Structure 1
Amino acid sequence: MTGLFSRLRPVGGWLARPLESWRTALRVRRLLVSASICLLPLSMANPLQAACTGTDLRRTASPELLREVHDELARTPYAKGLSWIATKDERRLHIIGTMHLNDPRHDALVAHMTPAIEHADAVLLEVNREDKARLNRALAETPSMVFITDGPTLIDRLPQEDWQHIAAQASAAGIPPFMAAKMRPWFLSLSLSVPQCARTIKDVTDGLDAKLMQVAEAADVPTLSLEDPLRLFQKLDAAPLEEQVEELRSYIAMMGVGPDDFYTMVESYFDGEVQEYTLLQLKQFLAAEGEIPVAERQAQLDELLETLLYQRNRDWIPVIEATEGAQLVIAIGAAHLPGDQGVLALLEAEGYQIERAPL
């Protein structure tokens, strides 16, 4: 997935939460997108680096904050790495954390995974080609899921000052304002979370998962989905339009997040340090000054992560276990791997032995 709306809850809800909630949601969204989402710079520039540059925030954070992050990393299971092997009895799973954006640095990961894919009984991804096509057909047949098809557009649903701000952000992201005005708020915020620099990349959505799927198809290895993407989209659009509009007004306040977050996210992925960047961003959120008590911020954060990461992780384990075959490849966003609620720890709880596969 490539970015999710600030709220992202199927039921209940935050109504026009203060700025801190929305900034956190944006950061988590970006992690899921690219690590979902999400390297030390190579000596030779490549298109993604050339298009999206910035400062690596891991190099500029305060020593105190970095100590906190590294202390927690030391307590986090499977905190570093992209490639893992899980074995149980005769079963062997080769698990790779993916990023859903195109980058030449994926070539080394594709070469690393190709032998495992060619000998696999199946490759499991978040969404395979058939289900993605089915999602696209559903969206084409039901444009009201992503566009406002009845009643006023956002131009008339928002105060003029708010709309002008959004229109400027849409233009900066390469989205014509007239088109942005017709987007449902959750879909507009998703679109705005991808910076303009990334949009200039050739075949931008041809990320590692797509490349690995191509390898599997060439080897005639079945590719299977871990979840139904249409159901996820339905959850994102579950809130009434009026509520989404109110949330979009809150989203305006944090639209000024610069390119450094995106740059750091991508660099941390290729460095195998997705969890380091995640913790850095979330600790900054919890430490920031504001009217919301830290305990309430933590509760908001826990709820968001539960919806976007942990519940999906738990849902995937029975799918993996029910898939036939002794040799499987599992390619999922890298943010789903670390932690005691990550996919690796959940597999360990099912009796798998986990080891890191060197790249």
Structure 2
Amino acid sequence: MTRTLLLLLSLVAGAARADCPPTPALPTAAQTASWAAAAPDRGPLWRISRGGHSSFLFGSLHIGKADWAYPGPALRRAWDETEVLAVELDPADIAPALAALPPPAPLPPGLARRVDAQARVACLPPGVLAAFPVMLQLSTLTLLEARRDGFDVGWGQDLMLLNRAKAEGRPVQSLETPQEQLAALEPTAAELPEVVDGALKQLQRGQMRTPLRKLADTWVRGDMKTLADYARWCGCADTPAERAWFKRLNDDRNLALAERITALHGAGQRLLVAVGALHMTGPQGLPKLLAAQGFTVEPVHPAK
């Protein structure tokens, strides 16, 4: 999931039937104060040091629950010790890129009917997703399904940090362009039927929620070993086409992300980098790539 999905979710109408994904309820002032005061650390956090100064690398989750949208003690200290927030993509850059996209190629009729049927299950207005690439459509349907378990993109950690940065006037650096993210998200023409079919089967069979819950629980604990095995238990990388698409979406972006983090840090900026936690896993994970570029990488949470 990417910040691109925020724009799509803004199109979602309120729930009209009892079986619709519930619309997230805004917390009360008392809840906000209580959750902010008692927030524990969630998600993996590293200190990365090179050239005489330190930055921080935070593995974020793009969805969350209402009480997760507040930083714990270690993340607050990382905020205080840095001066620039670096994220995959600033949502402010999304709308122009989406507006410039050519109309998506039509899906085969059978797949198109299945996407439309799933949009009706999610209580979306007819045709509201049609102008967007199919993987953004499916990602939006997945996020709506996650609402049934109390998750929402509005409570994601990176959005929480972005809102705080903009409220405080902290500079925000995007590590990618919208065009790069959209290109990574889309399967090739040969992969597309299999990848779309796999995602639709998970949605239609009600099999999307279990891996999403496991992902969230694993992220909260900072369990990097289980996160590294995500492709084995997500149900989203079971075929050669799905595995090729997932590798391009996740692993293949990491080298460019690491190079841009290195360049910003090397320019003397003390960064808090918030990038999706799955980019921290495996031999091409960001902590290993940054260590290979001369950074001292120290776990902060969970601490060794």
TM-score, L = length of structure 1: 0.60
Work out which of the residue numbers 322, 325, 340 in structure 1 matches 2:283: 340
Partner of 2:46: 84
Residues 1:189 and 1:235: Cα distance change in structure 2 (over 3 Å): same
How far, CA to CA, are the matches of 1:301 and 1:213 in structure 2?
31
Work out which of the residue numbers 63, 83, 88 in structure 2 matches 1:126: 88
Partner of 1:174: 123
Residues 1:172 and 1:214: Cα distance change in structure 2 (over 3 Å): same
Residue 317 in structure 1 maps to residue 258 in structure 2: yes
Residue 101 in structure 1 maps to residue 52 in structure 2: no
Deviation for aligned residue 1:180: 4.9
Work out which of the residue numbers 206, 216, 226 in structure 1 matches 2:175: 226
Percent identity between matched residues is 22
Give the RMSD, CA atoms, in angstroms: 3.8
How far, CA to CA, are the matches of 2:242 and 2:191 in structure 1?
20
Equivalent position amino acid for 1:316 in 2: L
Partner of 1:217: 166
Count residues with an aligned counterpart. 263
Deviation for aligned residue 1:238: 7.5
Equivalent position amino acid for 2:99 in 1: A
Deviation for aligned residue 1:93: 1.7
How far, CA to CA, are the matches of 1:178 and 1:121 in structure 2?
43
How far, CA to CA, are the matches of 1:181 and 1:217 in structure 2?
32
Q: Could you say what secondary structure the match of 2:284 adopts?
A: coil
Partner of 2:223: 273
Equivalent position amino acid for 2:292 in 1: A
Post-superposition CA distance 1:251-272 (Å, at most 9, x none):
5444322421222221221121
**Structure 1, unpaired ranges of 5+:** 5-46, 49-79, 289-296
Deviation for aligned residue 1:339: 2.3
Pair member with larger Rg: 1
Q: Could you say what secondary structure the match of 2:250 adopts?
A: helix
Residue 144 in structure 1 maps to residue 103 in structure 2: yes
> Does the Cα contact within 8 Å between 1:124 and 1:330 map onto a contact in 2?
yes
* Aligned residue runs from structure 1 range 277-356, under 5 A: 277=227, 279=229, 282=232, 303-323=244-264, 324-325=267-268, 327-356=270-299
> Does the Cα contact within 8 Å between 1:265 and 1:274 map onto a contact in 2?
no
> Does the Cα contact within 8 Å between 1:118 and 1:216 map onto a contact in 2?
no
TM-score, L = length of structure 2: 0.70
Post-superposition CA distance 1:318-341 (Å, at most 9, x none):
211211225221111111112221
Partner of 2:94: 135
How far, CA to CA, are the matches of 1:189 and 1:99 in structure 2?
18
Deviation for aligned residue 1:163: 5.3
Partner of 1:72: none
> Does the Cα contact within 8 Å between 2:83 and 2:269 map onto a contact in 1?
yes
Post-superposition CA distance 1:269-296 (Å, at most 9, x none):
112125415526516869x8xxxxxxxx
> Does the Cα contact within 8 Å between 1:172 and 1:196 map onto a contact in 2?
no
Partner of 1:114: 76
